[in-house]
Amino acid sequence: MSKVEIKTGGEFLVKDIDANDIFIPEEFEEEQQMILQTCYDFLDAEVIPNLDKIDKKENNIMRTLISKAGELGLLGIAVPEEYEGFNQSFLTTMYANEAIGSSFSYAVAYMAHTGIGTLPLLYYGNEKQKQKYIPRMASGEMAAAYCLTEPNAGSDANSGASRATLSEDGKHYILNGQKMWITNGGFADILTVFAKIDNDRVLSAFLVESDWEGVTVNPEEHKMGIKGSSTTQLFFSDVKVPVENLLGKRGEGFRIALNILHIGRIKLAANSLGSAKRTINYAVNYANERKQFGKHISSFGAIQHKLAEQVIRTYAAESSIYRASKQIDTAIAHYESEGLEHGAAHIEGSAQYAVECALLKVYGSEMLDYVVDEAVQIYGGMGFSADMPVDRAYRDSRINRIFEGTNEINRLLVVDTAIKDAQKNKYDLFGPAAEVMKEIENLKPVLDGSESYYEEKHKYVKAFKKAVLMAIYSMTDTLQRKLAFEQEIMMNVTDMMIQLYVAESTLLRVEKLETIKGAEAVKLQRDILDVVIYDAAAKIQKSGKDAIYSYAENNANVLIKALEHFTTVKGLNVKDNRRRIATHLIEENKYKF
Ligand SMILES: Cc1cc2nc3c(=O)[nH]c(=O)nc-3n(C[C@H](O)[C@H](O)[C@H](O)COP(=O)(O)OP(=O)(O)OC[C@H]3O[C@@H](n4cnc5c(N)ncnc54)[C@H](O)[C@@H]3O)c2cc1C
């Protein structure tokens, strides 16, 4: 296999990226669109008509629907053919996740099964383990769950108290412990359970069948949202786990848990994208029907603002998610070309983009919270009725900021990982950052006035990068080892990075789309891009100021002046841009951008 070259994760901070080098959703091929359609057809036939039954957990319907998805092949999209799956690319899996993501509680069960439930075994299991379980998981015969969290070990997942001890005859590990908040816990057949062997400092992972003696399941938790998703505590009391069911090596569990979460995070962003599109459709349908003061409420500027902003954030998320997904795919191909087998290549490929996965989890979940919140508002009093679909969308969205690592943990990870990767020489962050620090002593105009539309936007994005690099350099230089105790500042800098990544991804997508379809076809997309860049500039400036005033000592004024310089963009009639975007949405009566 010829060697596949890749970009390094986090590199977007320091490099200029060419639009031709990224993937845009308009490039999905026919086969991928057919898979997407199959997912939506399944939802329309089996899931959406049963949402109330699912939320009431009638007749174990969720378990039945997992089996039905298995019959259709939807559980095996990412599974290699030798384990009876369809061996589709990471990108295609993400596309399917977008569709399934729009199915409320069902999405959570599906994701837990196909993602955190199946992937630890698929990526870390030995051949015998995979042959034994994966085909049955891909067919839906066995449902899966991932058991990491404990009552006293949530964000600090490695602090769990569950223990495993080798039996005297050396044939079993005797597992004892308690797990909490386990998705699919009420019906899962196969569990990946994380526990420490003897007095180990780090976790190991075990494959446990839920019908083994000593495994007990608590009643379902009562939750604010995703009510149809099964969430339970599980207890393990002297459970005899055969030694051949140790997953990976002893002490490798924590690494398994973390590596699986990179993928979980970006997939959660894809889920949020699907939910956002469905919710926008509810919102615009309602706005086009509801009349007040003799007019449809969709004709009011205040409502158009909300509709447009829902679209803008969704479009920006979509641009960013698929850009990163394709890069992960390319990285997987790169590691395979270097001789890594399927699982190891997937682990390395996603770990390469850990920064992007974490920032997309944050952006995607917060984008969705905005979309559902404004959808309730657009429905007015009816939005507060439990009989309306936006009620479910609103309640179900909230969990996304909590699981797969809370957004606080992910925000801290983004900047921390970017810095650590640079310190490990994965890419040069501090060299370009030092250049920016020189530049701020003698600032040159960002624009010279001769720029074309896209040249101007690229120069803005390049200036945003300088703002972020300056913040990272001056923050680390000033705080040094104290940085870890200044979480607020780290979160500010992460917010700068998020806005930069999303703005750049939107720019690259629209620019590439224009080269494919021509300027006339992307007028609305340019409207979106204008607002994204304009807003990103203001948000980067605000987060940057919050950070700089919190750590800078003598040079605060110099840094603030440079920050303002790098984040000042031309004025924009945002009202008109948003009205044009909203008008298109209102005319189509659905999200179509
Ligand atoms: C519906 C649902 C389904 C779930 N499914 C699963 C599952 O299938 N498998 C599984 O293993 N787990 C699952 N979880 C658990 C979930 O991953 C945890 O709830 C999450 O990781 C947070 O842990 P915690 O609840 O203990 O919160 P805590 O860790 O106690 O956090 C409380 C608050 O403190 C903040 N915080 C914690 N540590 C830090 C820090 N170092 N710095 C700054 N802030 C910090 C958090 O961000 C949060 O705001 C699920 C949870 C829910 C609610």
Assess whether 404 carries a catalytic annotation: yes
Distance of CA 47 to the CA centre of its chain: 23
Ligand 1 binding pocket includes 230 (Cβ within 6 Å)? no
Rounded to the nearest angstrom, the distance between the alpha carbon of 150 and the centre of ligand 1 is 10
Grade residue 7 by pLDDT with cuts at 50, 70 and 90.
Answer: confident
Taking the C-alpha atoms of residue 455 and residue 533, their distance in angstroms, rounded to an integer, is 13
Rg from Cα positions in the chain: 24
Q: 46, 318, 366, 404: which is the annotated catalytic residue? A: 404
Ligand 1 binding pocket includes 234 (Cβ within 6 Å)? no
- Quick one: pLDDT at residue 335? 95
Other Cβ atoms within 10 Å of 59 Cβ, number: 9
Instruction: Fill in the DSSP letter of residue 79.
Output: S
- Quick one: pLDDT at residue 117? 97
- Quick one: pLDDT at residue 132? 98
Grade residue 478 by pLDDT with cuts at 50, 70 and 90.
Answer: very high
Ligand 1 binding pocket includes 155 (Cβ within 6 Å)? yes
Other Cβ atoms within 10 Å of 256 Cβ, number: 24
- Ligand 1 pocket check: which of 155, 226, 395 to mutate, most ligand atoms within 8 Å of Cβ? 155
H-helix or E-strand spanning residue 207? strand 204-209
Q: Specify whether the CB–CB gap between 47 and 102 falls below 8 A.
A: no
Share of the chain above pLDDT 70, in %: 99
Query: Per residue in 117-129, is it b (16+ CB within 10 Å) or e — as a string?
Result: bbbbbbbbbeeeb
Q: What is the pLDDT of residues 27-53, one digit of tens each?
A: 999 999 999 999 999 999 999 999 999
DSSP string, 493-517: HHHHHHHHHHHHHHHHHHHHHHHHH
Is residue 2 scored above 70 in pLDDT?
no
What mean pLDDT do residues 254-278 have?
Answer: 96
Q: What is the pLDDT of residues 516-549, one digit of tens each?
A: 999 999 999 999 999 999 999 999 999 999 999 9
φ, ψ for residue 450, nearest 5 deg: -100, 5
- Quick one: pLDDT at residue 549? 97
Rounded to the nearest angstrom, the distance between the alpha carbon of 146 and the centre of ligand 1 is 14
Nearest atom (ligand 1) to Cα of 145: 8
Q: What is the pLDDT of residues 82-94, one digit of tens each?
A: 999 999 999 999 9
φ, ψ for residue 144, nearest 5 deg: -120, 155
For 338, residues 6+ apart whose C-beta sits below 8 A from its C-beta are 3
**What global pTM score does this model have?**
0.97
Look at the block and give the residue holding tokens 């074309």: 452
Q: What is the pLDDT of residues 314-370, one digit of tens each?
A: 999 999 999 999 999 999 999 999 999 999 999 999 999 999 999 999 999 999 999
Is residue 8 scored above 90 in pLDDT?
no
Is residue 3 scored above 90 in pLDDT?
no
What mean pLDDT do residues 452-462 have?
Answer: 98
Other Cβ atoms within 10 Å of 152 Cβ, number: 11
- Quick one: pLDDT at residue 4? 72
For the chain, list the domains and their CATH numbers.
11-142 (1.10.540.10), 146-247 (2.40.110.10), 253-409 (1.20.140.10), 429-588 (1.20.140.10)
Other Cβ atoms within 10 Å of 73 Cβ, number: 17
Ligand 1 binding pocket includes 409 (Cβ within 6 Å)? yes
What mean pLDDT do residues 101-110 have?
Answer: 98
Ligand 1 binding pocket includes 194 (Cβ within 6 Å)? no
In this structure, the dihedral spanned by the alpha carbons of residues 50, 51, 54 and 55, taken in order and rounded to 10 degrees, is -150
Rounded to the nearest angstrom, the distance between the alpha carbon of 276 and the centre of ligand 1 is 23
Q: What is the pLDDT of residues 196-244, one digit of tens each?
A: 999 999 999 999 999 999 999 999 999 999 999 999 999 999 999 999 9
Is residue 1 scored above 60 in pLDDT?
no
- Quick one: pLDDT at residue 6? 76
The helix/strand/coil state of 214 is coil
Ligand 1 binding pocket includes 491 (Cβ within 6 Å)? no
Ligand 1 binding pocket includes 263 (Cβ within 6 Å)? no
Rounded to the nearest angstrom, the distance between the alpha carbon of 258 and the centre of ligand 1 is 14
Other Cβ atoms within 10 Å of 369 Cβ, number: 18
Rounded to the nearest angstrom, the distance between the alpha carbon of 411 and the centre of ligand 1 is 14
Which structure tokens are listed for 420? 């650590």
Share of the chain above pLDDT 90, in %: 98
- Ligand 1 pocket check: which of 110, 149, 208, 396 to mutate, most ligand atoms within 8 Å of Cβ? 149
Distance of CA 393 to the CA centre of its chain: 18
Mean pLDDT of the residues in the chain = 97
Rounded to the nearest angstrom, the distance between the alpha carbon of 356 and the centre of ligand 1 is 20
Grade residue 553 by pLDDT with cuts at 50, 70 and 90.
Answer: confident
Angle at 236 between CA 231 and CA 240, to 5 degrees: 135
Q: What is the pLDDT of residues 150-178, one digit of tens each?
A: 999 999 999 999 999 999 999 999 999 99
In this structure, the dihedral spanned by the alpha carbons of residues 205, 110, 399 and 260, taken in order and rounded to 10 degrees, is 30
